[in-house]
Amino acid sequence: MQNAASSQRSPTTGLLLGLVITLAAVLAYASYITVQLAGLRKLQSEMVDRNRKDSLQLLRIQNDLNSVALAMRDMLDTTEPYPLTAWTAQFDRIHQDLDSGLKLEENLAGASRTPDQRRYLTQSVAQFWDAVNRMFGLAQGGKDAEAREQIRLSLQARQQALSTAVSRLLVENNEGEQQAAVRIAHIYDGVQRQLYLFLAATLIAIVLTSLYLIRSNRQIFARLAELSEQRSELAQKLISTQESTLRHISRELHDEFGQVLTAIGSMLGRAGKHIPEGALLREDLKEVQEIAQSTLNNIRTLSQALHPVLLEEAGLESTLDWYIATVGRQTGLTLHYEKTGQPFPVETNAGVHVYRVLQEALNNVSRHSGARDAWIRLKYASDSLELEVEDHGTGFAAEELPRGIGLVAMRERAELIGGSLAISPRPQGGTKVRLQIPRGKVDANGA
């Protein structure tokens, strides 16, 4: 019993457990990724982006210093007809841009620059412009030759020193970017590794859950099939028992009570002949004899209804002829009976079930359809036997298939003889019951 109980256990708990584990894994991984991304963003914004912006400013400064170098070269070129003071505006523009670039660079460099580096750059630039101003002072005083000497001796060397310092800072920035790139690559590798792990774990969880689900489904379906088989077996046994009982009662009624009543009738007939004509007793005996005959007829009818012996004696076709006529009389329904095809003898056991299906179908027409007409079609096809019962009564909606013991029994009977039963509403109203049995299952000749 314990094994049976465990095999019938619902998979919901297992599935919920799997879901919880999967969600927990997703949450854990999402948290991990968020932390890594935050680290990456911080690294990029604080190091790489800042470094890049700083490098751009350093390049701007370097460009200005190059412009200064070119301007000084031009100033030393005596082919230019203008005095050195002509370069004042050009130097002013470069000075302005250089100051702007240095200011921005200082803000961007932040902690990556040592105080000594800052001091050196600031002081060197200040000294350079101081020397430039002295040079232009000489030029304004008409001492172009001395000013040019200043350029050669001092300014060009200072410019080169500044340019070297800026180049060094650019190299440092480049190294910093390379280090940052390594760290970023490390983070990416970690995330990639974790991603693979997460994917593997998720895949395993999905596979396990799927296997569990498949196993559970198989057990459920097996159990359902078993139950269905048991139910079908039970129903068939019930039907068989019912038929057997009815046949027994029918035979008892027919054989025992029939013979007794027949004997009583004969005896009453003979006794009446000994009583003079016109005597009251003779009249009474005759009346009793008629009652006995009437009872005998009723018993025979009941016997036929319970189990048509006719089936065994005359076959399905004759039984249906008799039954349809009887039902028509008893219920007042107008029954339109149509036979088609080449008749073949129907095996008695199968014939009982066909008869019962017809019996139930007509019973339903009489009790539920409200129709006064019904159409019965018996078709002997080359490969099957088909029985249709159709009425034009109230019917039922397609999605509301009537449920009841009678209908269940009809299906069971159909299945019992290897056939199929379809109950469908007619579009114009009414119901059609269609029983179809392969000929091999019903043909008494084994066709």
Partner 1 sequence: MNRREFLFTALGTGLDTATTPPWILGNPSSPLGFRFTDVTNAAGIQFQHNSGAYGGKLLPETLGSGCAFLDYDSDGWQDILLVNGMDWPAHKRQRSTLRLYRNNRNGTFKDVTRSAGLDVEMYGMGVAIGDYNNDGFPDIFVSCVGQSRLFRNTGKGTFIDVTRASGLYGRQGLSTSALWFDYDRDGLLDLFVCNYVRWSPEHDVFCSLDGSHKSYCTPEAYRGDTCWLFRNRGDGTFEDVTPTSGIFDSSSKSLGVAMFDYDQDGWPDLLVANDTQPNKLYRNLRNGKFKDVAVEAGLAFSTEGKARAGMGVDVGDFDNSGRPGVAITNFDNEMIGLYRANATGVFDDVSIPSGVGAPSRNTLGFGCLFLDVDLDGALDLAVANGHIDETVRNIRGNVGYAQPPQLFLNLGNGKFRDVAGEAGGGFKKSRVGRGLAYGDFDRDGDLDILMTTNNGPASLFRNDHLAGNHSIRFHLRGTKSNRDAIGATVRIFANGQSQSRVVRGGSSYLSQSELPLTFGLGKRDKIDRVVIEWPSGRTEEYKDLGAGKTYKLLETKGIQEQPGF
Euclidean distance between CA atoms 360 and 187, whole angstroms:
79
Of 85-93, 120-128, 338-346, 410-418, the window that binds partner 1 (rule: CB under 8 A) is 85-93
CB of residue 165 vs partner 1: minimum separation in angstroms? 23
Question: Other C-beta atoms within 10 Å of 39: how many?
Answer: 14
| Position 103 contacts partner 1 (CB under 8 A) | no
* Assigned token pair, 104: 């921005």
Long-range contacts formed by 6-11: CB under 8 A, 24+ apart: 7/219, 7/223, 8/219, 8/223, 11/212, 11/213, 11/216, 11/217
CA-based nearest residue to 384, from 350, 433, 338, 408? 350
132 exposed, middle or buried (CB, 10 Å; 0-12, 13-18, 19+)? buried
Quick one: which H or E segment has residue 334? Answer: strand 334-341
Of 9-17, 74-82, 241-249, 338-346, the window that binds partner 1 (rule: CB under 8 A) is 74-82
Binding mask 356-395 for partner 1 (x = CB under 8 A): ----------------------------------------
Euclidean distance between CA atoms 316 and 311, whole angstroms:
5
CB of residue 151 vs partner 1: minimum separation in angstroms? 14
CB of residue 155 vs partner 1: minimum separation in angstroms? 16
CB of residue 169 vs partner 1: minimum separation in angstroms? 21
Which of 7, 24, 80, 245 lies at the binding interface for partner 1 (CB under 8 A)? 80
Euclidean distance between CA atoms 68 and 64, whole angstroms:
6
CB of residue 194 vs partner 1: minimum separation in angstroms? 38
Tell which positions 190-209 bind partner 1, by CB under 8 A. none
| Position 67 contacts partner 1 (CB under 8 A) | yes
| Position 70 contacts partner 1 (CB under 8 A) | yes
CB of residue 91 vs partner 1: minimum separation in angstroms? 10
**Which residues, including other chains, have CB under 8 Å from residue 122's CB and lie 6 or more apart?**
102
CB of residue 87 vs partner 1: minimum separation in angstroms? 7
In 274-347, alpha helices (H) = 280-306, 309-314, 316-331
| Position 186 contacts partner 1 (CB under 8 A) | no
Which of 9, 41, 42, 93 lies at the binding interface for partner 1 (CB under 8 A)? 93
Tell which positions 274-333 bind partner 1, by CB under 8 A. none
**Residue pair 423/433 in contact by the 8 Å Cβ criterion:** yes
Nearer to partner 1, 80 or 284 (CB): 80
- Residue carrying the six token digits 């340019």: 163
Of 82-90, 170-178, 266-274, 295-303, the window that binds partner 1 (rule: CB under 8 A) is 82-90
Binding residues for partner 1 (CB under 8 A): 67, 70-71, 74, 80-83, 85-87, 89-90, 93, 97
